[in-house]
């Protein structure tokens, strides 16, 4: 969300209201008189936190995710889903195929799908 109100002083006053935790502490540790305008404030913020921004991944990164031994399907689906959220753009059919291939034969879950002989 951005505010385009053209009032630098107001933007500098409103900005801290959007901060929490360590970022809020960072703001309060800024040296006195180090910020003359909203541009200075935004550049200081971006300079401090840009490296922490997550970069979107390519769909091919999902191929390296495999279900771990003794990992439940629920745990694996959650981990796989978190990785999908980091992918820039994807086709859901391709993602589902990758998910299915990631459940390896020999794993407890895969073996539990096999029917027992009567």
pTM for the model stands at 0.49
Q: DSSP 3-state assignment of 94?
A: helix
Residue 62 CB neighbours (<10 A): 21
- Per-residue pLDDT tens over the stretch 33-70: 888 888 888 888 888 877 666 667 888 889 899 888 88
How many Å apart are CA 80 and CA 67, to the nearest integer?
9
How many Å apart are CA 75 and CA 51, to the nearest integer?
29
Residue 1 pLDDT greater than 50, yes or no: no
Residue 106 pLDDT greater than 70, yes or no: no
Domain boundaries, the chain: 8-52, 59-112
């Amino acid at each position: 969300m951005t505010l385009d109100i053209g009032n630098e002083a107001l933007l500098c006053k409103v900005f801290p209201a959007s901060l929490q935790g360590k970022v809020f502490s960072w703001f309060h540790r800024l040296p006195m008189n180090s910020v003359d305008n909203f541009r200075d404030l935004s550049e200081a913020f971006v300079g401090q936190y840009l490296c922490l921004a997550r970069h979107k991944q390519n769909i091919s990164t999902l191929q390296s995710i495999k279900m771990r031994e003794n990992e439940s399907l629920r745990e694996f689906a959650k981990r796989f889903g978190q990785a999908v959220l980091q992918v820039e753009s994807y086709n859901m059919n391709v993602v589902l195929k990758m998910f299915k291939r990631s459940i390896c034969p020999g794993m407890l879950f895969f073996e539990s799908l096999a029917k027992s002989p009567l």
